[in-house]
Amino acid sequence: MSEPPAPRGQRLVTPYAFIDTEAFRAAGLDWQSRTWSSLIDLASKSTLEPITTSITTREVEARLSEALAEAEAAAKKHGAIFGQLGESGPFGDTDPADRKALLHARFREFLATAKFTEIPVVADHKAIFDDYFAGAAPFGEGKKKSEFPDAFVLSSLLAWIRPGRPRIYVVGKDPDLVKFCEGRDDLIQLDSVAQLLSLALASAQLVKRLEAHVRGDASLLERLRARLNSYRPRRVDIEVEDVEFFDLEISSVFLVDESEEGQDFVLEVEVLAEVEADVRETGHEYVISRRGEPDLDIRTYHARPTSSAAIYVEVLVSEDDSGEEPALVTTDWAITSGDIEIKLPSQFSRREITLEAR
């Protein structure tokens, strides 16, 4: 028989966790996903006590609005197809403003369900402007004015710290945020929500065992590579052939959910890979003819560019007690990250091509 599940939260040094806007985006904006459901469960038991600010909430709402605009544009592009099917499109006749308001309301409902505490925005203006003019984090070299929201958020986190709550996890891997937290004992930086959940869910021994199982499952990367090699470009204005992913390597393994019995586990696995493809584009270029007159020349550009990619995979693992010794078994897996981009050389009309699952 396998050992009973370890007490949750035993590896956390504090229950308080702030999730940066980009960490929200990276974890996915589906509030019913396994990742966010696990966070809700941990918050309901007070294992985690997530915090946020009004600035962060508005930034996430802006990301939701951007995602909605992209979805609306895609639906409009394929309107003729929906029309032939007798459909008005995925959004029906709803008002765009109502759709945006509903998305924002769903996010606010999630924050309430996950028991996020909104801390006040209390900024040390002098310290912020001192950092700005000194080029210190989160501004960095060039004194990036776009980092003022982050500066106000980080200042508010520091102001919220008290003797009874001396430390906060700061979840996100924005370089300026990471630099700001470096060397501090009160702000503990984590790269992802998955990493936070993994700390909260299980003992170090269990996480190490799960990670060893995934890293030792050679067939997982083989099957993942075969699936990725079937990806195709989103647009067809550039000819793309022979897509190939190679040098796949597991970067991190985090436990994001587990059954109450401690028999079934959901892992988020980050896989780094290189991807290349044959790319051709035929276009016109203005040239000067032999007579010194402008003319159009047909040119075909060909390249095989290579780009790096980070792919996120949800892996389901179960404890099998049927044998003499308990063993971990991979029962299912799925790619959860979005599209993958390949950067193109300067002679092409587009800066990159986007690959998506087919």
Q: What does the alpha-carbon distance between residue 23 and residue 41 come to, in Å, rounded to a whole number?
A: 19
| pLDDT attached to residue 178 | 92
Residues in CB range of 118: below 8 A, 6 or more apart: 51, 52, 53, 54, 57, 111
> Which tens digit of pLDDT belongs to each residue from 259-280?
877 789 999 999 999 999 999 9
Strand, coil or helix: what is 28? coil
User: Degrees (nearest 5) of the Cα angle 58, 64, 70?
Assistant: 140
Confidence band (pLDDT; 50, 70, 90) for 235? low
Confidence band (pLDDT; 50, 70, 90) for 294? confident
Q: Quick one: which of 70, 56, 57, 64 has its CA closest to 101? A: 64
pTM for the predicted model, two decimal places: 0.75
Q: Above 90 in pLDDT, residue 112?
A: yes
Q: What is the mean pLDDT of the chain?
A: 85
Q: Above 90 in pLDDT, residue 52?
A: yes
CB 197 within 8 A of CB 177: no
Confidence band (pLDDT; 50, 70, 90) for 253? very high
HSE at residue 240, side-chain half, CA atoms within 13 A, is 28
Average pLDDT over residues 306-319: 94
Strand, coil or helix: what is 18? strand
Q: What does the alpha-carbon distance between residue 205 and residue 271 come to, in Å, rounded to a whole number?
A: 22
Give percent of the chain above pLDDT 90.
49
| pLDDT attached to residue 138 | 56
| pLDDT attached to residue 129 | 55
Confidence band (pLDDT; 50, 70, 90) for 137? low
Domain chopping of the chain, boundaries: 16-199, 203-356
Average pLDDT over residues 218-241: 87
> Which tens digit of pLDDT belongs to each residue from 190-211?
999 999 999 998 777 888 899 9
Q: Above 90 in pLDDT, residue 228?
A: yes
Q: Above 70 in pLDDT, residue 95?
A: yes
Residue 329: strand pairing partners: 318
Q: Above 70 in pLDDT, residue 146?
A: no
* Tokens, residue 190: 């984590």
Q: Above 80 in pLDDT, residue 82?
A: no
How far separated are the first and last CA of the chain, in Å rounded?
Answer: 42
| pLDDT attached to residue 189 | 96
Read out DSSP for 248-274? Answer: EEEEEEEEEEE-TTS-EEEEEEEEEEE
Q: Quick one: which of 201, 184, 192 has its CA closest to 265? A: 201
> Which tens digit of pLDDT belongs to each residue from 158-192?
989 987 788 999 999 988 889 889 989 999 999 99
Residues in CB range of 330: below 8 A, 6 or more apart: 213, 214, 217, 220, 315, 316, 317
Q: What does the alpha-carbon distance between residue 190 and residue 226 come to, in Å, rounded to a whole number?
A: 31
